[in-house]
């Protein structure tokens, strides 16, 4: 065993030494190879043109013009970058460069030899023949090296892999695997549902069959892994594929949808485990990236709540569009540190400003706006957990309503171009404190419309993977062996991915004139119990057998299903077929100021009954939960007096 190890080590050392030597002399070797190919091509042109007439005089013309041919072609090849680069990665762009360089060189040589030097008896047709041969030889040599390096050889350590999807993404993956065996995957073939591709080879990898035959193909070719390389696949298609993979007991990974690859190309490094959001049966959201870039590039962007789930993803996507400065405003020091470190590593040239601050601190907000003058503000800071806010209604009103008003008013005072409020579908016919505070925040935003700032709101459904959402909760419960707890067997929600949610925010910031509420067409609502079953199966387990599902009943303030529009909200068309826009109405600013004054008094006095009554008067469609109603009953009798006694005692103790 030791002898074998030593021998392998020696072989690796010799191989590395050879590679180092090739790298050191790569440029001279490339030049030498080009000179050889140029000479051979030029000589062959004379032979093909003159054949038996290639006499001593013709040989003399060949030797007289050869140095000129070599110099001109090398200079032009150098200008086109053909004397550097890696031949193993040659592609169509390189072939176009070779063709352009050769055509230019041949045109120049023809002019110099025929008209400038004017050699007597020189066969003019040699030049075009030489041009064709040069393209064939120089290009052929490169593609020959690529073909040699891409030959896939199974060495026993690689996983036998089937690639689902023989499109652009799958083709790029197959090529990457063939070029670099160290990645650990051996491409057995493609699986694609396009009958026109059956049997053809793409990058040397054959299309073996369609997804209906996947189980048979896995067994026949003894596949160990399946890579799903269809970024545009629908949820039900992916679910069918992974069901076959699970039945065949092979591992599987997926290439993320295009919404997660804003400025990237398909790569084996992007493959990850299938997530429940990949199974959402909805067409992927297509974004107008150029409009978003025009809105963001070389401008100052400010994000409140930048350390949260939505705020963090907003920061990542905005950073890809090269803003002049990105200001992260966040109350949590730890979350701000985390996202700041991540962005600094991924975008080293980004002008990133991290500010620890609270949206209730108006002085801090004014300092930030005065110093950085943001052109767009994305307001993602909010309390969002329904059961928690039912028990903490004063904090919900203070943060979600007064905090939003602070940020929006300061944005207007400093003439920001855009203010985008992150709202929720729970603001529609709300039955909980969180939802009604978000609806009031929408009304405040719409009331501030005017002057130079465009105010708009964006309503989300449930964001899978966000902090506190059902996704992470179910994952933790499944990891513990269950049970997975679901509130009600008929409970439904609209779901969207974080990337989709953020894409909608960025797209909305480029649309409308202000005073609108934008909503993503999220397809059909999904039963939460169905989502739980999918997640259990993704973990390789069976629901109700390996992991039990328990129904716990709706929590205070929760509804069986959510809505996305209020009665009376008019739908308007948008340039984007998957985004709706509603006319949310526009209350007067004086109404808003009066609401805020009254709410402030009620919060200060800790008057639950008065607070809820006022929220109902502002949002008539609000139906308070039984828990909040019970708090109001208690409040009528003694909660306010208890609070006032506590304040009196505290003041006496301080004195």
As a 3-state breakdown, the chain gives helix, strand, coil percent values, each rounded to 5, of: 55, 15, 30
| Cross-strand pairs, 520 | 579
Determine the Cα–Cα distance for residues 362 and 406; give it in Å rounded to an integer: 6
Q: If you search the block for the tokens 């009953």, which residue do you land on?
A: 633
498-508 vs 289-296: helix crossing angle, rounded to 10: 70
Burial of 188 (0-12, 13-18, 19+ CB in 10 A): buried
CATH of 159-274, one of 3.20.20.80, 3.20.20.150, 3.40.50.720, 2.120.10.10: 3.40.50.720
| pLDDT score, position 281 | 59
State both tokens at 478.
């499944």
Q: If you search the block for the tokens 């073996």, which residue do you land on?
A: 208
Sheet holding 185-191, edge to edge: 201-202, 205-209, 185-191, 159-164, 225-228, 251-254
Cα 13 from chain centroid? 41
Torsion angles phi and psi, residue 83, rounded to 5:
-100, 15
CB 640 within 8 A of CB 607: yes
Please name the residues in contact with 358: beta carbons below 8 A apart, sequence gap of 6 or more.
331, 364, 403
State both tokens at 544.
């109700």
User: What's the topology of domain 289-463+496-522+567-586?
Assistant: Rossmann fold (3.40.50)
| pLDDT score, position 342 | 94
| Cross-strand pairs, 242 | none
Determine the Cα–Cα distance for residues 342 and 330; give it in Å rounded to an integer: 15
Q: Which residues are the active-site residues?
A: 426
Residues of the chain below pLDDT 70? 1-26, 52, 85-89, 91, 147-156, 257-266, 280-285, 465-468, 521-523, 556-557, 561-573, 577-578, 583-585, 631-655
Torsion from C-alpha of 558, 564, 565, 567, nearest 10 degrees = -40
CB 405 within 8 A of CB 362: no
State both tokens at 487.
């509130």
| pLDDT score, position 150 | 58
Q: If you search the block for the tokens 């350390």, which residue do you land on?
A: 307
| pLDDT score, position 387 | 86
Q: Where in the chain is the domain with CATH 3.40.50.720?
A: 159-274, 289-463+496-522+567-586
Taking Cα atoms as reference points, which of 497, 5, 596, 532 lies closest to residue 282? 497
Extract the runs of DSSP E, i.e. beta strands, from 230-387.
251-254, 300-304, 325-330, 352-356, 376-379
């Amino acid at each position: 065993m030791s002898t074998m190890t030593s021998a392998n080590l020696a072989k690796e050392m010799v191989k590395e030494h050879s590679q180092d030597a090739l790298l050191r002399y790569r440029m001279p070797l490339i030049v030498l190879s080009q000179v050889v190919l140029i000479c051979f091509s030029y000589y062959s042109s004379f032979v093909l043109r003159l054949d038996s007439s290639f006499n001593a005089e013709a040989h003399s013309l060949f030797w007289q013009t050869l140095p000129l041919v070599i110099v001109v072609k090398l200079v032009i090849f150098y200008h086109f970058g053909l004397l550097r680069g890696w031949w193993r990665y040659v592609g169509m762009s390189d072939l176009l460069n070779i063709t352009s360089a050769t055509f230019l060189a041949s045109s120049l040589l023809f002019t110099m030899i025929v008209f400038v030097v004017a050699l007597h008896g020189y066969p003019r047709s040699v030049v075009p023949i030489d041009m064709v041969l040069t393209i064939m030889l120089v290009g052929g040599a490169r593609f020959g090296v690529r073909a040699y390096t891409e030959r896939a050889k199974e060495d026993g350590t690689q996983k036998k892999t089937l690639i689902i999807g023989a499109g652009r993404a799958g083709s790029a993956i197959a090529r990457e695997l063939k070029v670099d065996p160290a990645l650990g995957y051996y491409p057995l073939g493609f699986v694609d549902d396009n009958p026109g591709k059956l049997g053809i080879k793409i990058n040397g990898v054959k299309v073996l069959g369609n997804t209906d035959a996947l189980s048979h193909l896995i067994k026949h070719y003894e596949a160990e892994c399946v890579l799903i390389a269809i970024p545009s696949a629908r949820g039900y298609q992916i679910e069918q594929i992974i069901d076959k993979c699970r039945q065949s007991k092979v591992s599987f990974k997926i290439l993320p949808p295009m919404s997660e690859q804003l400025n990237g190309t398909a790569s084996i490094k992007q493959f990850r485990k299938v997530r429940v959001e990949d199974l959402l049966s909805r067409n992927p959201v297509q974004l107008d990236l150029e409009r978003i870039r025009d809105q963001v590039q070389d401008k100052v962007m400010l994000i409140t709540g930048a350390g949260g789930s939505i705020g963090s993803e907003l920061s990542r996507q905005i950073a890809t569009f090269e803003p002049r400065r990105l200001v992260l405003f966040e109350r949590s020091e730890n979350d701000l540190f985390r996202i700041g470190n991540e962005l600094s590593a991924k975008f080293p040239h980004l002008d990133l400003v991290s500010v620890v601050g609270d949206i209730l601190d108006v002085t801090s907000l004014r300092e930030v706006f005065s110093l950085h003058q943001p052109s767009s503000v994305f307001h993602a800071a909010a309390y969002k957990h329904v059961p928690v806010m039912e028990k903490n209604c004063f904090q919900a009103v203070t943060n979600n309503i007064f905090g939003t008003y602070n940020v929006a008013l300061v944005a207007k005072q400093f003439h920001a171009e855009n203010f985008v409020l992150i709202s929720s579908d729970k603001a529609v016919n709300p039955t909980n404190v969180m939802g009604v505070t978000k609806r009031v925040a929408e009304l405040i935003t719409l009331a501030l419309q005017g002057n130079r700032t465009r105010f708009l709101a964006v309503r989300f459904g449930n964001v899978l993977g966000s902090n506190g959402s059902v996704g992470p909760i179910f994952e933790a419960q499944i990891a513990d062996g269950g049970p997975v707890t679901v509130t009600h067997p008929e409970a439904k929600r609209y779901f969207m991915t974080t990337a989709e949610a953020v894409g909608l925010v960025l797209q909305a910031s480029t649309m409308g004139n202000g005073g609108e509420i934008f909503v993503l067409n999220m397809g059909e609502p999904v039963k939460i119990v169905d989502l739980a079953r999918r997640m259990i199966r993704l973990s390789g387990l069976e629901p109700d057998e390996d992991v039990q599902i328990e129904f716990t009943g709706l929590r205070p303030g929760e509804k069986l299903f959510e809505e996305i529009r209020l009665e009376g909200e008019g739908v308007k068309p948008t340039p984007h077929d998957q985004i709706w826009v509603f006319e949310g109405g526009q209350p007067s600013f004086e109404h808003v100021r009066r609401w805020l004054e009254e709410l402030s008094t009620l919060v200060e006095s800790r008057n639950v009954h008065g607070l809820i009554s006022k929220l109902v008067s502002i949002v008539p469609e609000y139906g308070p939960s039984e828990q909040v109603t019970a708090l109001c009953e208690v409040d009528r009798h003694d909660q306010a007096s208890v609070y006032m006694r506590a304040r009196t005692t505290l003041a006496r103790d301080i004195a």
